[in-house]
Amino acid sequence: MRNRLVFVVLIAGLTIGGCRPSAPEKAGGEPEAAPAAGPVLDAHDPTILRRPFTAEEIRAEWAPGLTLTMRRTTPDAEVLARWTVVAADTEGVDIEYATVDAGGQVVGEPRVERSSWVELRDHATFSAAHATSEETVRDTALGMLNGWVYTVRDDEAGTVTELFFARSLPGAPVEMRMTRDGAVVMELSQIARR
C-alpha cells in the first residue's frame, strides 16, 4: 500500500500545471446531482475499497486534446504543470507532462508517458485496512462537484492523504492533501480542465 500511495504522490507531483482557473464544461456552475450510493468495498476484491472509476470510464473521458492544469504546493514551493492527452487507443493513453509558468508557457522539456487504462484505474486502489471513503460535495477550483473523498493512512510514514475524485470527471483526483503528524506537506489541485 505504501508503494501505491508513494506512486500516487509522485504522479501528483508530476502533474502540476498553471493556467487561469476555468470550470470544466460539465460543471455548469450548478452542483451536480448527489452521487448514487454504492458499495464501499470492491465487488471483486473485498480487501480494497471500491475504486472511483472503471478503466472504461477513464477511457471514455481521456480523449486526445484533454488538458488538465495542476497546482502542487509544498511548504517550500508551488509548481504548475499541464497534462495533455496526445494519443489514445483501446489499450491506453499517451500523456504529455509539462511544467509551466504562471502564464502557461512551458518551462523545460515536456515528456510523454504511456499508461494503460487499467494502470490509470489502479492508481486509486486503496487497502480497506488503511483507508476509508465517503461521498461528499466540494467547492473546488473547477466549481461545486460531487464525488468521493478517500482518506489513506500510512502509519509507518506518519502520513494521512486525502484524495477527492469528482464523479463527473473520471481520472486523476481533483484535489489531494497529504499531512504528516498534522502538518500539511503537500497539496495538489486541478485548477483547469478542458
The sign one gets for the Cα dihedral 160, 53, 18, 105 is positive
- DSSP-assigned beta bridge partners for residue 144: 139
182 pLDDT band, cuts 50/70/90, is: confident
Run of H or E including 12 = helix 2-14
72 contacts 187 by C-beta, under 8 angstroms: yes
Whether residue 121 is predicted with pLDDT greater than 80 in this model: the reply is yes
Average pLDDT, the chain: 85
CATH number, domain 2-23+32-193: 2.50.20
Nearest to 144 by CA among 45, 29, 65: 29
Whether residue 12 is predicted with pLDDT greater than 80 in this model: the reply is no
3 pLDDT band, cuts 50/70/90, is: very low
Whether residue 10 is predicted with pLDDT greater than 50 in this model: the reply is no
| Cα pseudo-dihedral 129, 134, 140, 144, rounded to 10 | 160
Task: Tell me the pLDDT tens digit for each residue of 128-173.
Answer: 999 999 999 999 999 999 999 999 999 999 999 999 999 999 999 9
Size of the chain, expressed as the number of residues it contains:
194
52 pLDDT band, cuts 50/70/90, is: very high
Whether residue 35 is predicted with pLDDT greater than 80 in this model: the reply is no
- What's the confidence (pLDDT) of residue 43? 84
Nearest to 152 by CA among 129, 185, 175: 129
Cell of 13: 507531483
13 pLDDT band, cuts 50/70/90, is: very low
Write the CB contacts of 105 (distance below 8 Å, at least 6 apart in sequence).
none
Whether residue 186 is predicted with pLDDT greater than 70 in this model: the reply is yes
Average pLDDT for residues 110-134, to the nearest whole number?
96
Strands (E), the chain: 67-73, 78-88, 92-100, 106-116, 131-140, 143-154, 159-166, 175-180, 183-193
Task: Tell me the pLDDT tens digit for each residue of 84-113.
Answer: 999 999 999 999 999 999 888 999 999 999
14 phi and psi angles, rounded to 5 deg = -85, -10
